[in-house]
Amino acid sequence: MDEALVRSLTPGVLAVLVRRGADFAAAEDAVQEALLEAVRTWPAGPPRDPKGWLVTVAWHRYLDAWRADASRRRREGLAEEEPLPGPVPDVDDTLWLYFLCAHPSLTPSSAVALTLRAVGGLTTRQIARAYLVPEATMAQRISRAKRTVSGVRLDRPGDVATVLRVLYLVFNEGYSGDVDLAAEAIRLTRRLAAVVDHPEVSGLLALMLLHHARRASRTAPDGSLVPLAEQDRSRWDTAAIAEGIGILRAALARDRLGEFQAQAAVAALHADAPTARETDWVQIVEWYDELARLTDNPVVRLNRAVAVGEADGPRAGLAALAAVDPALPRHTAVAAHLHERDGDLSTAARLYAEAARKAPSAAERDHLTRQAARLNTGRGR
Protein backbone atom coordinates (compact mmCIF):
# COMPACT_ATOMS: atom_id res chain seq x y z
CA MET A 1 0.00 0.00 0.00
CA ASP A 2 1.02 3.58 -0.68
CA GLU A 3 0.78 4.93 2.87
CA ALA A 4 1.48 8.51 1.75
CA LEU A 5 -1.45 8.31 -0.68
CA VAL A 6 -3.78 6.94 1.98
CA ARG A 7 -2.74 9.68 4.43
CA SER A 8 -3.36 12.38 1.82
CA LEU A 9 -6.81 11.00 0.96
CA THR A 10 -8.07 10.58 4.54
CA PRO A 11 -9.08 14.23 5.22
CA GLY A 12 -11.02 14.40 1.97
CA VAL A 13 -12.88 11.16 2.72
CA LEU A 14 -13.76 12.40 6.19
CA ALA A 15 -14.97 15.70 4.72
CA VAL A 16 -17.30 13.91 2.28
CA LEU A 17 -18.98 12.01 5.11
CA VAL A 18 -19.39 15.16 7.21
CA ARG A 19 -20.85 17.04 4.23
CA ARG A 20 -23.36 14.22 3.73
CA GLY A 21 -24.64 14.72 7.26
CA ALA A 22 -22.58 12.31 9.38
CA ASP A 23 -21.63 13.60 12.81
CA PHE A 24 -17.88 13.99 13.12
CA ALA A 25 -17.13 11.33 15.74
CA ALA A 26 -19.08 8.60 13.91
CA ALA A 27 -17.62 9.68 10.56
CA GLU A 28 -14.07 9.46 11.91
CA ASP A 29 -14.74 5.96 13.23
CA ALA A 30 -16.16 4.91 9.85
CA VAL A 31 -13.13 6.28 7.99
CA GLN A 32 -10.80 4.37 10.31
CA GLU A 33 -12.74 1.16 9.56
CA ALA A 34 -12.47 1.86 5.83
CA LEU A 35 -8.71 2.32 6.17
CA LEU A 36 -8.43 -1.03 7.96
CA GLU A 37 -10.39 -2.65 5.14
CA ALA A 38 -8.04 -1.02 2.62
CA VAL A 39 -5.02 -2.43 4.44
CA ARG A 40 -6.61 -5.86 4.21
CA THR A 41 -7.74 -5.81 0.57
CA TRP A 42 -5.72 -3.30 -1.46
CA PRO A 43 -2.45 -5.24 -1.65
CA ALA A 44 -4.29 -7.98 -3.57
CA GLY A 45 -6.10 -5.59 -5.90
CA PRO A 46 -5.84 -1.79 -5.51
CA PRO A 47 -8.92 0.14 -6.75
CA ARG A 48 -8.82 2.41 -9.81
CA ASP A 49 -10.31 5.27 -7.73
CA PRO A 50 -8.82 4.99 -4.21
CA LYS A 51 -10.69 7.99 -2.81
CA GLY A 52 -14.01 6.86 -4.24
CA TRP A 53 -13.45 3.37 -2.81
CA LEU A 54 -12.69 4.78 0.65
CA VAL A 55 -15.73 7.07 0.55
CA THR A 56 -18.04 4.21 -0.45
CA VAL A 57 -16.75 1.82 2.21
CA ALA A 58 -16.67 4.49 4.94
CA TRP A 59 -20.20 5.64 4.09
CA HIS A 60 -21.51 2.09 4.28
CA ARG A 61 -19.72 1.56 7.60
CA TYR A 62 -21.26 4.77 8.91
CA LEU A 63 -24.76 3.75 7.81
CA ASP A 64 -24.34 0.29 9.33
CA ALA A 65 -23.34 1.77 12.68
CA TRP A 66 -26.06 4.40 12.50
CA ARG A 67 -28.78 1.85 11.78
CA ALA A 68 -27.60 -0.26 14.70
CA ASP A 69 -28.04 2.63 17.10
CA ALA A 70 -31.65 2.56 18.27
CA SER A 71 -31.49 6.16 19.50
CA ARG A 72 -30.81 7.36 15.96
CA ARG A 73 -33.44 5.33 14.09
CA ARG A 74 -35.44 8.50 13.56
CA ARG A 75 -32.71 9.61 11.17
CA GLU A 76 -32.96 6.52 8.96
CA GLY A 77 -34.04 8.69 6.07
CA LEU A 78 -30.35 9.39 5.48
CA ALA A 79 -30.07 5.94 3.89
CA GLU A 80 -32.48 6.99 1.12
CA GLU A 81 -30.28 9.98 0.31
CA GLU A 82 -27.22 7.89 -0.47
CA PRO A 83 -25.73 9.31 -3.68
CA LEU A 84 -25.38 7.15 -6.75
CA PRO A 85 -22.01 5.42 -7.26
CA GLY A 86 -19.55 7.41 -9.30
CA PRO A 87 -16.29 9.35 -9.14
CA VAL A 88 -15.78 11.64 -6.14
CA PRO A 89 -14.87 15.26 -6.97
CA ASP A 90 -11.19 15.95 -6.37
CA VAL A 91 -11.64 18.79 -3.86
CA ASP A 92 -9.16 19.50 -1.06
CA ASP A 93 -11.34 19.88 2.04
CA THR A 94 -8.51 19.64 4.55
CA LEU A 95 -8.41 23.32 5.51
CA TRP A 96 -12.22 23.41 5.82
CA LEU A 97 -12.02 20.45 8.19
CA TYR A 98 -9.42 22.22 10.31
CA PHE A 99 -11.85 25.08 10.87
CA LEU A 100 -14.76 22.75 11.61
CA CYS A 101 -12.71 20.87 14.19
CA ALA A 102 -12.12 24.18 15.97
CA HIS A 103 -15.83 24.02 16.88
CA PRO A 104 -17.11 26.48 19.52
CA SER A 105 -18.43 23.57 21.60
CA LEU A 106 -14.85 22.37 22.19
CA THR A 107 -12.11 23.92 24.27
CA PRO A 108 -9.11 24.98 22.17
CA SER A 109 -6.93 22.17 23.57
CA SER A 110 -9.59 19.54 22.80
CA ALA A 111 -10.14 20.94 19.32
CA VAL A 112 -6.42 20.76 18.58
CA ALA A 113 -6.13 17.20 19.88
CA LEU A 114 -9.18 16.02 17.92
CA THR A 115 -7.99 17.64 14.71
CA LEU A 116 -4.49 16.22 15.00
CA ARG A 117 -5.95 12.74 15.48
CA ALA A 118 -8.76 12.82 12.91
CA VAL A 119 -7.40 15.14 10.20
CA GLY A 120 -3.67 15.39 10.80
CA GLY A 121 -3.24 11.63 10.98
CA LEU A 122 -1.10 11.68 14.15
CA THR A 123 -1.29 8.90 16.72
CA THR A 124 -2.40 9.57 20.27
CA ARG A 125 1.20 9.03 21.41
CA GLN A 126 2.52 11.66 19.00
CA ILE A 127 -0.09 14.18 20.11
CA ALA A 128 0.67 13.49 23.77
CA ARG A 129 4.37 14.13 23.11
CA ALA A 130 3.56 17.42 21.39
CA TYR A 131 1.48 18.47 24.41
CA LEU A 132 4.01 17.17 26.96
CA VAL A 133 1.36 15.04 28.70
CA PRO A 134 1.04 11.27 29.30
CA GLU A 135 -0.49 9.24 26.47
CA ALA A 136 -3.38 8.10 28.70
CA THR A 137 -4.26 11.72 29.48
CA MET A 138 -4.34 12.61 25.79
CA ALA A 139 -6.45 9.53 24.96
CA GLN A 140 -9.04 10.67 27.51
CA ARG A 141 -8.98 14.20 26.09
CA ILE A 142 -9.61 12.97 22.56
CA SER A 143 -12.39 10.65 23.73
CA ARG A 144 -14.10 13.52 25.55
CA ALA A 145 -13.81 15.71 22.46
CA LYS A 146 -15.41 13.03 20.29
CA ARG A 147 -18.24 12.60 22.79
CA THR A 148 -18.78 16.37 22.85
CA VAL A 149 -19.19 16.64 19.08
CA SER A 150 -21.12 13.39 18.75
CA GLY A 151 -24.48 14.31 17.25
CA VAL A 152 -23.45 17.97 16.85
CA ARG A 153 -23.64 19.35 13.32
CA LEU A 154 -20.26 20.91 12.63
CA ASP A 155 -21.57 23.95 10.82
CA ARG A 156 -19.99 26.71 12.93
CA PRO A 157 -16.30 27.03 12.12
CA GLY A 158 -13.96 27.86 14.98
CA ASP A 159 -11.59 30.80 15.24
CA VAL A 160 -8.30 31.42 13.48
CA ALA A 161 -6.27 31.17 16.70
CA THR A 162 -7.24 27.53 17.25
CA VAL A 163 -6.59 26.62 13.61
CA LEU A 164 -3.14 28.23 13.87
CA ARG A 165 -2.39 26.20 16.99
CA VAL A 166 -3.31 23.02 15.15
CA LEU A 167 -1.13 23.87 12.16
CA TYR A 168 1.76 24.81 14.46
CA LEU A 169 1.65 21.48 16.29
CA VAL A 170 1.31 19.53 13.04
CA PHE A 171 4.38 21.33 11.70
CA ASN A 172 6.37 20.64 14.86
CA GLU A 173 5.54 16.96 14.74
CA GLY A 174 6.47 16.76 11.07
CA TYR A 175 9.65 18.77 11.58
CA SER A 176 11.00 16.74 14.45
CA GLY A 177 9.39 13.34 14.36
CA ASP A 178 8.64 10.18 12.50
CA VAL A 179 5.69 11.48 10.45
CA ASP A 180 6.66 14.06 7.83
CA LEU A 181 3.84 16.58 8.06
CA ALA A 182 5.92 19.77 7.88
CA ALA A 183 5.43 20.40 4.16
CA GLU A 184 1.70 19.78 4.48
CA ALA A 185 1.46 22.25 7.38
CA ILE A 186 3.29 24.88 5.30
CA ARG A 187 0.98 24.26 2.33
CA LEU A 188 -2.15 24.66 4.44
CA THR A 189 -0.79 27.77 6.17
CA ARG A 190 -0.09 29.29 2.75
CA ARG A 191 -3.70 28.59 1.81
CA LEU A 192 -4.90 30.13 5.04
CA ALA A 193 -2.76 33.23 4.47
CA ALA A 194 -4.33 33.60 1.02
CA VAL A 195 -7.88 33.74 2.39
CA VAL A 196 -7.49 35.23 5.90
CA ASP A 197 -6.05 38.70 6.46
CA HIS A 198 -4.44 38.18 9.87
CA PRO A 199 -0.85 39.08 10.89
CA GLU A 200 -0.52 35.96 13.06
CA VAL A 201 -1.22 33.76 10.02
CA SER A 202 1.71 35.49 8.31
CA GLY A 203 3.76 35.14 11.48
CA LEU A 204 3.17 31.40 11.59
CA LEU A 205 3.98 30.98 7.89
CA ALA A 206 7.23 32.92 8.36
CA LEU A 207 8.13 30.82 11.41
CA MET A 208 7.54 27.57 9.51
CA LEU A 209 9.60 28.69 6.52
CA LEU A 210 12.52 29.84 8.68
CA HIS A 211 12.63 26.58 10.65
CA HIS A 212 12.11 24.43 7.56
CA ALA A 213 14.99 26.22 5.83
CA ARG A 214 17.41 24.64 8.33
CA ARG A 215 16.00 21.14 8.13
CA ALA A 216 18.70 19.60 5.91
CA SER A 217 21.41 20.54 8.40
CA ARG A 218 19.69 19.37 11.60
CA THR A 219 20.88 15.76 11.38
CA ALA A 220 24.16 14.11 10.41
CA PRO A 221 24.31 11.30 7.81
CA ASP A 222 24.07 8.75 10.62
CA GLY A 223 20.85 10.35 11.87
CA SER A 224 22.37 12.00 14.93
CA LEU A 225 21.26 15.51 15.93
CA VAL A 226 23.43 18.48 14.99
CA PRO A 227 23.04 21.45 17.41
CA LEU A 228 22.24 24.82 15.84
CA ALA A 229 25.70 26.23 16.62
CA GLU A 230 27.37 23.34 14.76
CA GLN A 231 25.12 23.21 11.69
CA ASP A 232 26.54 23.71 8.19
CA ARG A 233 24.88 27.01 7.28
CA SER A 234 25.74 26.57 3.62
CA ARG A 235 23.05 23.87 3.57
CA TRP A 236 20.35 26.24 4.76
CA ASP A 237 17.67 27.11 2.18
CA THR A 238 18.38 30.79 1.54
CA ALA A 239 15.29 31.25 -0.65
CA ALA A 240 13.02 30.03 2.16
CA ILE A 241 14.86 32.26 4.64
CA ALA A 242 14.43 35.31 2.41
CA GLU A 243 10.74 34.54 1.91
CA GLY A 244 10.18 34.01 5.63
CA ILE A 245 11.93 37.25 6.59
CA GLY A 246 9.96 39.17 3.96
CA ILE A 247 6.64 37.81 5.22
CA LEU A 248 7.63 38.55 8.82
CA ARG A 249 8.61 42.15 8.08
CA ALA A 250 5.26 42.79 6.42
CA ALA A 251 3.42 41.29 9.40
CA LEU A 252 5.42 43.25 12.00
CA ALA A 253 4.77 46.48 10.08
CA ARG A 254 1.07 46.13 10.92
CA ASP A 255 1.91 46.62 14.64
CA ARG A 256 -0.34 43.79 15.85
CA LEU A 257 2.27 41.61 17.52
CA GLY A 258 1.41 38.03 18.42
CA GLU A 259 3.33 35.00 19.65
CA PHE A 260 3.98 33.50 16.21
CA GLN A 261 5.43 36.77 14.92
CA ALA A 262 7.68 36.98 17.98
CA GLN A 263 8.82 33.36 17.54
CA ALA A 264 9.50 34.06 13.87
CA ALA A 265 11.59 37.08 14.85
CA VAL A 266 13.80 34.83 17.01
CA ALA A 267 14.12 32.34 14.13
CA ALA A 268 14.97 35.18 11.73
CA LEU A 269 17.80 36.39 13.95
CA HIS A 270 19.27 32.88 13.98
CA ALA A 271 18.83 32.51 10.21
CA ASP A 272 20.32 35.94 9.46
CA ALA A 273 23.57 35.32 11.38
CA PRO A 274 26.46 34.30 9.06
CA THR A 275 27.98 32.26 11.90
CA ALA A 276 26.83 31.10 15.32
CA ARG A 277 29.29 33.51 16.93
CA GLU A 278 27.66 36.46 15.14
CA THR A 279 24.15 35.71 16.44
CA ASP A 280 22.50 38.78 17.97
CA TRP A 281 21.66 37.20 21.33
CA VAL A 282 20.77 40.53 22.93
CA GLN A 283 17.91 41.01 20.47
CA ILE A 284 16.87 37.38 20.92
CA VAL A 285 16.56 37.94 24.68
CA GLU A 286 14.39 40.99 23.97
CA TRP A 287 12.09 38.94 21.73
CA TYR A 288 11.84 36.23 24.38
CA ASP A 289 10.80 38.95 26.83
CA GLU A 290 8.02 39.89 24.40
CA LEU A 291 7.02 36.24 24.09
CA ALA A 292 6.90 35.81 27.85
CA ARG A 293 4.65 38.87 28.07
CA LEU A 294 2.35 37.48 25.38
CA THR A 295 2.12 33.85 26.49
CA ASP A 296 3.54 33.29 29.99
CA ASN A 297 4.73 29.94 28.61
CA PRO A 298 7.31 28.06 30.73
CA VAL A 299 9.04 26.77 27.57
CA VAL A 300 9.60 30.39 26.54
CA ARG A 301 11.27 31.08 29.89
CA LEU A 302 13.44 27.98 29.43
CA ASN A 303 14.58 29.13 25.98
CA ARG A 304 15.10 32.64 27.33
CA ALA A 305 17.53 31.25 29.93
CA VAL A 306 19.64 29.80 27.11
CA ALA A 307 19.60 33.15 25.30
CA VAL A 308 20.53 35.03 28.48
CA GLY A 309 23.43 32.61 28.96
CA GLU A 310 24.70 33.50 25.49
CA ALA A 311 24.10 37.25 25.80
CA ASP A 312 25.23 37.86 29.40
CA GLY A 313 27.24 34.79 30.32
CA PRO A 314 26.46 31.33 31.68
CA ARG A 315 26.00 32.44 35.28
CA ALA A 316 23.33 34.92 34.23
CA GLY A 317 21.73 32.09 32.27
CA LEU A 318 21.76 29.82 35.31
CA ALA A 319 20.17 32.59 37.40
CA ALA A 320 17.39 32.90 34.80
CA LEU A 321 17.01 29.11 34.74
CA ALA A 322 16.51 29.05 38.51
CA ALA A 323 13.14 30.72 37.99
CA VAL A 324 11.95 27.94 35.65
CA ASP A 325 10.18 24.81 36.89
CA PRO A 326 12.84 22.03 36.98
CA ALA A 327 10.19 19.45 36.05
CA LEU A 328 9.89 21.01 32.60
CA PRO A 329 11.17 18.75 29.79
CA ARG A 330 14.69 19.68 28.64
CA HIS A 331 15.31 21.76 31.80
CA THR A 332 18.12 19.39 32.80
CA ALA A 333 19.69 19.55 29.33
CA VAL A 334 19.72 23.36 29.45
CA ALA A 335 21.28 23.27 32.92
CA ALA A 336 23.97 20.91 31.63
CA HIS A 337 24.76 23.24 28.72
CA LEU A 338 25.04 26.29 30.97
CA HIS A 339 27.20 24.51 33.54
CA GLU A 340 29.53 23.35 30.76
CA ARG A 341 29.87 26.91 29.48
CA ASP A 342 30.61 28.01 33.05
CA GLY A 343 33.47 25.48 33.25
CA ASP A 344 31.83 23.10 35.73
CA LEU A 345 32.40 20.00 33.60
CA SER A 346 31.70 17.47 36.36
CA THR A 347 28.22 18.85 37.02
CA ALA A 348 27.58 19.25 33.29
CA ALA A 349 28.48 15.62 32.55
CA ARG A 350 26.21 14.39 35.34
CA LEU A 351 23.33 16.55 34.10
CA TYR A 352 23.80 15.49 30.45
CA ALA A 353 23.52 11.85 31.54
CA GLU A 354 20.42 12.62 33.60
CA ALA A 355 18.86 14.54 30.69
CA ALA A 356 19.54 11.62 28.37
CA ARG A 357 17.46 9.36 30.59
CA LYS A 358 14.55 11.82 30.33
CA ALA A 359 14.89 12.51 26.59
CA PRO A 360 11.61 12.34 24.60
CA SER A 361 13.22 10.78 21.51
CA ALA A 362 15.98 8.31 20.71
CA ALA A 363 17.90 10.89 18.66
CA GLU A 364 17.91 13.40 21.53
CA ARG A 365 18.84 10.70 24.04
CA ASP A 366 21.80 9.61 21.93
CA HIS A 367 22.95 13.21 21.49
CA LEU A 368 22.86 13.91 25.23
CA THR A 369 24.62 10.62 26.00
CA ARG A 370 27.43 11.60 23.62
CA GLN A 371 27.70 14.98 25.33
CA ALA A 372 28.11 13.30 28.72
CA ALA A 373 30.65 10.84 27.33
CA ARG A 374 32.63 13.67 25.70
CA LEU A 375 32.96 15.53 28.99
CA ASN A 376 33.76 12.41 31.00
CA THR A 377 36.47 11.42 28.50
CA GLY A 378 37.94 14.90 28.54
CA ARG A 379 38.11 14.98 32.34
CA GLY A 380 39.72 11.52 32.44
CA ARG A 381 42.73 12.56 30.41
Looking at residue 65, its pLDDT comes to: 87
Q: For the chain, give percent helix, strand, coil, nearest 5.
A: 75, 0, 25
Looking at residue 73, its pLDDT comes to: 53
Helix (H, G, I), strand (E, B) or coil at 219: strand
pLDDT in tens, the chain (381 residues): 677 788 788 888 998 998 888 888 888 999 999 998 998 899 888 899 999 999 999 999 998 888 777 554 554 444 545 554 555 444 456 777 777 777 777 877 788 788 878 777 777 887 887 777 889 999 998 888 888 877 666 555 567 888 898 888 888 876 555 556 788 889 889 988 888 889 999 999 999 999 999 999 998 988 889 999 999 999 999 999 999 999 999 999 999 999 999 999 999 999 999 999 999 999 999 999 999 999 989 999 999 999 999 999 999 999 999 999 999 989 999 999 999 999 999 999 999 999 999 998 888 999 999 999 999 986 655
Could you tell me where the DSSP H helices lie in 69-212? 94-101, 108-118, 124-131, 135-149, 160-176, 182-195, 199-212
How far CA 12 is from CA of 51, 354, 360, in Å, comes to 8, 45, 32
Looking at residue 200, its pLDDT comes to: 95
For residues 160 and 31, give the distance between their C-alpha atoms in angstroms, rounded to a whole number: 26
Looking at residue 107, its pLDDT comes to: 79
Residues in the chain: 381
Looking at residue 311, its pLDDT comes to: 97
Q: What is the DSSP code (8-state) at residue 276?
A: G
Alpha-carbon torsion (17, 19, 20, 26), positive or negative: positive
Looking at residue 233, its pLDDT comes to: 96
Looking at residue 110, its pLDDT comes to: 82
For residues 335 and 352, give the distance between their C-alpha atoms in angstroms, rounded to a whole number: 9
Q: Which of 153, 149, 54 shows the shortest CA–CA distance to 111?
A: 149
For residues 71 and 256, give the distance between their C-alpha atoms in angstroms, rounded to a whole number: 49
